[in-house]
Structure 1
Amino acid sequence: MLIFWTITLFLLGAAKGKEVCYENLGCFSDTEPWAGTAIRPLKILPWSPEKIGTRFLLYTNENPNTFQTLLLSDPSTIDASNFQTNRKTRFIIHGFIDKGDESWVTDMCKNMFMVEEVNCICVDWKKGSQTTYSQAANNVRVVGAQVAQMLSILSKDYNYSPSNVHLIGHSLGAHVAGEAGSRTPGLARITGLDPVEANFEGTAEEVRLDPSDANFVDVIHTDAAPLIPSLGFGTNQLVGHLDFFPNGGENMPGCKKNALSQIVDLDGIWAGTRDFVACNHLRSYKYYSESILNPDGFTAYPCASYRSFQANKCFPCPAQGCPQMGHYADKFAGKTSGEEQKFFLNTGDASSFARWRYGVSITLSGRTATGQVKVALFGDKGNTHQYEVFRGIIKPGTTHSNEFDAKLDVGTIEKVKFLWNNNVVNPTFPKVGAAKITVQKGEEETEYNFCSEDTVKEDVLLTLTPC
């Protein structure tokens, strides 16, 4: 009988679960949906605020290189700092095994200072993140509550509205932002930078980042391949109002170098090995940081899939326009429709990542030949490389179209240069031309037409001017 009651009490205790409470933050339990589920089988409680040691490091336009520490326990540190209530505040929250004074975090603040006056607060919770993954995933809850506590202090003591606040979280930090947002009504925006998958994908909304956590939630997915077997760290689940999948969201260009070359071209072996192991996962914050300085360099197109995007089925932008992935995503007019919205774009394989997409249509003239046709665009801001539009039988009167991602915005297109070749000796030296070339920028409805009546031999440039 004693054994029966012992087992019964044990089972009741297991069902009830454990709970820990922290002053000003509330209580945290290890019951469902936080633990004891298929996605979160381990029953782990978050560490105490003292053990996690979260720090709020303030950088502003006045102190871009050295931080001022804001203490939850001593709000007078806010008074003594350069925090200004007439500016927006952007929090940057790092992820697993990272730290808040890492160079990418401070570099992101510095990019912001180049385009705006802003309070940039780096949330450093390295003690809570540099532990086992399961423990760090649960520490997210306390760190999120602390961010919410800071927002509450700003609101109550300084009349500073959450509508002026933007939380930017990478990896586990995206879910920290989600926790803070769920505790802060009226929060303006959360940006999730490759929110981590393990222990979060498929969980209840209160566990992870979701669209209800802020008035506007935008997400950049760069490592969305399944964790098993592909070792993708990021979630594939749509968790925002706008979900961006650059380069398809799984394999980022430039991330397939061998370990040695990756380490050699980065400062420090730690940065190099980390970049090699988690290159796709880290691309999300690199894209975001660059987007701050490129207001139109990350145009993203609504599309059913990346395959459709690659097949040129999602160009140009629809009537309501296209959003910019990254810093300026909140300028998109239709940002919070009731439906989940997926957007695709391509980037470069290394910094600079920004790209500008063009659609080109060529109507051929001259002789029939076999080969490839290329064009280069010339505008008032510069010119592109030669991009291939068609390869096969070049037949007069036929029209061929393609899209490409240029490394720069050429501005107003003034002329187009046409080139063809086939690398086959042809004693008749056929001449081929382009009677008409139509060019369209992805973000614009306007089409630009260029014409020529001339034809040229292989490898000879033909310049087309506006019709």
Structure 2
Amino acid sequence: SVFSLSRLSGVICILVLILTVAASQRLFAYERGKCDTAISEVIEDLAKALFHRPMHVTQASLLQYDLYTPLNPQQRQLLHPGDVNMLKRSNFNAKWPVRITIHGWTGKSSACYNAALKDAYLSRGNFNVIIMDWSRQAIDISYVRVSKQLQSIATSLAKFLRFLHDNTGVPYESIYLVGHSAGTHIAGLTGKLLKPPERLGAIIALDPAGLTQLSLGPTERLAPTDALYVESIHTDLKFFGNPTGNQLSQAAFLVNWGRGQTHCPNATATELDFACDHFSAVYYFAESVRRPKLFGALRCSSLKSILSGTCSCKSGNHKTLTCPADAFMGGEPAIPKKGVYYLSTRPKPPFGTADGQVHMQPPIPSRILETSVKRRHI
């Protein structure tokens, strides 16, 4: 009957409202059950994207900005560019530094690596941590198609930064963009759109993507001049990363020579095995935010000396020597450095040694594919 259908419709509306409220109240942290870790979710999301591509919508409308502060460390507050009332009702505080994380290809805001970064910053004190979600573009099996959208995403992000600045007075210098993979190039393209004297305080590039970006010039990808300071951390030169570190940043850190990471696969148990090296930069950096002098690094004469595994201490055999650190990777706040650096890590968390020394180790090839095959046959 009409009455029954109306009643059923009312029940459905109530259920949808309950689910919507529950989703908005979800607690988000780098803890089991509070962030998305299932490998199957990535595959499922990619499968759905094949049949549900967003059509006839603006890039800006596909983006989402989740705000976390010490006042709401696990429950997001949404910010919408242009919505001043929403911004005023939020816990955003212009007196606190702003750290914006930008995920990469196939990523989304609810992923555990975003939670790890957010928790690291909030463990240090008062920060506005904003996780930019561009998953509706990023979850796409075609990286070429994804890459073509990075510039328009950066344009939207730059407008969002101006919205924050114009309505709160937050200085651009107190804003850092922390990007992973393709997200590093969104960060760089965004930085280019802020013309002097408008300059971002820093861009932290976590294993910048190679792939289609390898053939691009500095105006089309991350470059050393995109912020007052640009630092890159490289952990996967073999598959997804970018080996042109000193062309992307003012200081480039090649962890474990940028090759096989000693804990992979997979100490974090949050990514696909073959992407463990690629995501390692995120977890190393999160550790460095909590403990800024955790990762001592050795400055090398050139990128070539790192790629060839010949960078060494002042004397002796680089395979056995321990030498004093010339600088420290990552950290909060960012300390400007210049040059290319080598450092090694421990095979289990905490990955850094925290002793102010660089422990030289021979380069090892990535073991991810080999180990993944062995696992499937066990």
TM norm. shorter chain > 0.5: yes
Q: Which consecutive residues of structure 2, in runs of 5 or more, have no partner in the other structure? A: 1-54, 362-378
Specify the SS of the correspondent of 1:343: strand
2:321 matches 1:325: no
Structure with the largest fraction of helix: 2
For residues 264-275 of structure 1, the aligned pairs below 5 Å read 271=270, 274-275=271-272
Give the one of 61, 69, 76 matched to 2:85.
Answer: 76
CA distance in 2, matches of 1:348, 1:193: 19
CA distance in 2: counterparts of 1:281 and 1:63, whole angstroms: 30
- Structure 2 distance, partners of 1:211, 1:186, is 13
> Which position in structure 2 is the counterpart of 1:151?
161
Once the 2 structures are TM-superposed, how far is the Cα of residue 292 of structure 1 from its aligned partner?
A: 1.5
Residue among 297, 302, 305 paired with 2:299: 302
What is the number of equivalent residue pairs in this alignment?
291
Match among 252, 258, 263 for residue 249 of structure 1: 258
Aligned partner of residue 201 in structure 1, secondary structure: helix
What residue number does 1:279 align with?
276
Judging changes above 3 Å, is the alpha-carbon distance between structure 1 residues 347 and 55 closer, same or farther for their aligned structure 2 residues?
Answer: same
Question: 1:323 Cα shift?
Answer: 2.3
Q: Which string of whole-angstrom CA distances, capped at 9 and with x for unpartnered residues, describes residues 227-247 of structure 1?
A: xxxxx1000002100000010
The answer to whether the 8 A contact 1:52-1:128 is kept is no
Inter-CA distance 174–342: structure 2 relative to 1 (3 Å threshold)? same
Per-residue deviation, 1:205: 1.0
The answer as to whether partners of 2:64 and 2:78 remain within 8 angstroms in 1 is yes
SS at the partner of 1:331?
coil
- Does residue 97 of structure 2 align to residue 88 of structure 1? yes
Task: Identify which of 194, 199, 214 aligns with 2:227.
Answer: 214
Correspondence list, 1:353-368, <5 A? 353-356=351-354
Match of 1:166 among 139, 158, 176: 176
Match of 1:348 in 2: 346
Give the deviation of 1:186 after TM superposition.
1.3
Taking a change above 3 Å as real, the CA distance of residues 266 and 344 of structure 1, as seen in their structure-2 partners, is: closer
Whole-Å separation in 2 of the counterparts to 1:216 and 1:47: 37
| CA shift for structure 1 position 198 | 1.1
Task: Summarize the Cα distance change of 1:48–1:222 in structure 2 as closer, same or farther, 3 Å threshold.
Answer: farther
Tell me if structure 1 keeps the 8 A contact 2:343–2:360.
no
Question: In the aligned structure 1, how far is the partner of 2:106 from the partner of 2:61?
Answer: 13
Shift of 1:176: 0.6
The AA in structure 1 aligned to 2:310 is: S
Give the match for residue 121 of structure 2. Answer: 112
Supply the distance in 2 between the matched residues of 1:195 and 1:48 (Cα, whole angstroms). Answer: 28
Matches within 5 A, 1:388-467: none
**Equivalent residues of 1:275, 1:282 under 8 A apart:** no
What is the aligned partner in structure 1 of residue 318 from structure 2?
Answer: 312
The amino acid of 2:277's aligned partner reads: N
Gaps of 5+ in 1: 1-45, 226-231, 360-401, 406-467
More displaced stretch, 233-242 vs 304-313: 304-313
Residue 186 of structure 2, aligned match among 176, 179, 188: 176
* Aligned mates of 1:329, 1:83 — CA distance in 2: 19
- Please provide the CA RMSD for this pair: 2.5
1:288 is aligned to 285
The one-letter code of the counterpart of 2:331 is H
Q: Quick one: percent identity of the two aligned structures?
A: 25
8 A Cα contact 2:293 2:331, kept in partner: no
Note if contact 2:155-2:190 (Cα within 8 Å) is conserved in structure 1: yes
1:436 is aligned to: none
Q: Residues 80 and 86 of structure 2 are in contact (CA less than 8 Å); yes or no, is this contact kept in structure 1?
A: yes
Which has the larger Rg? 1
C-alpha distance in 2 between matches for 1:158 and 1:174:
26
Runs of 4+ residues over 2 Å off in structure 1: 46-52, 304-317, 327-332, 356-359, 402-405
Report the secondary structure of 1:90's partner residue: strand
Residue 51 to residue 241, structure 1, CA distance change in 2 (3 Å): closer
User: Quick check: which one's strand share is greater?
Assistant: 1
Q: Kindly indicate whether the alpha-carbon contact (under 8 Å) linking 2:64 and 2:133 is maintained by their aligned counterparts in 1.
A: yes
CA-to-aligned-CA distance 1:354-378 (integer Å, 9 cap, x gap)? 124687xxxxxxxxxxxxxxxxxxx
How far residue 328 of structure 1 moved from its aligned partner, in angstroms, is 3.9
Aligned partner letter, 2:214: E
Q: Does 1:200 align with 2:213?
A: yes
SS of the counterpart of 1:355? coil
Task: Please tell me whether the aligned partners of residues 193 and 220 of structure 1 are also in contact (alpha carbons under 8 angstroms).
Answer: yes
SS state of the match for residue 155, structure 1?
helix
Per-residue displacement from partner, 1:268-302 (whole Å, max 9, x unpaired)?
A: xxx3xx33021110101011111112221101110
Structure 2: how far apart are the matches of 1:62 and 1:158?
18
TM-score normalized by structure 2?
A: 0.71
Matched residues in 1 for 2:276 and 2:91: separation? Answer: 35
Report which structure shows greater RCO (CA 8 Å, sep ≥6).
Answer: 2
CA distance in 2, matches of 1:186, 1:165: 9
- Select 2:199's aligned residue among 183, 186, 210: 186
Q: Structure 2: how far apart are the matches of 1:298 and 1:352? A: 10
Instruction: Please give the per-residue CA displacement for 1:83-123, whole angstroms capped at 9, x wherever unaligned.
Output: 00101000000000010121221221111111121000000
Aligned residue for 2:78, secondary structure, equals strand
Distance 2:333 2:341 in 1: 11
The verdict on how the C-alpha distance between 1:91 and 1:200 changes in structure 2, with shifts beyond 3 A counting, is same
Q: Is the 2:344–2:360 Cα contact (8 Å) retained in structure 1?
A: no
Residue 61 (structure 1) aligns with: 70
**1:204 Cα deviation after fit:** 1.5
Give the equivalent residue in structure 2 for 1:49.
Answer: 58
| Mapped partners of 2:107, 2:229: distance in 1 | 26
Compute the displacement of 1:330 (Å): 2.4
State which of 76, 96, 121 in structure 1 corresponds to 2:130: 121
Residues 59 and 153 of structure 2 are in contact (CA less than 8 Å); yes or no, is this contact kept in structure 1?
no
Contact 1:91 1:166 survives alignment (8 Å): yes
Residues 203 and 50 from structure 1, CA distance in 2 versus in 1: closer, same or farther, beyond 3 angstroms? closer
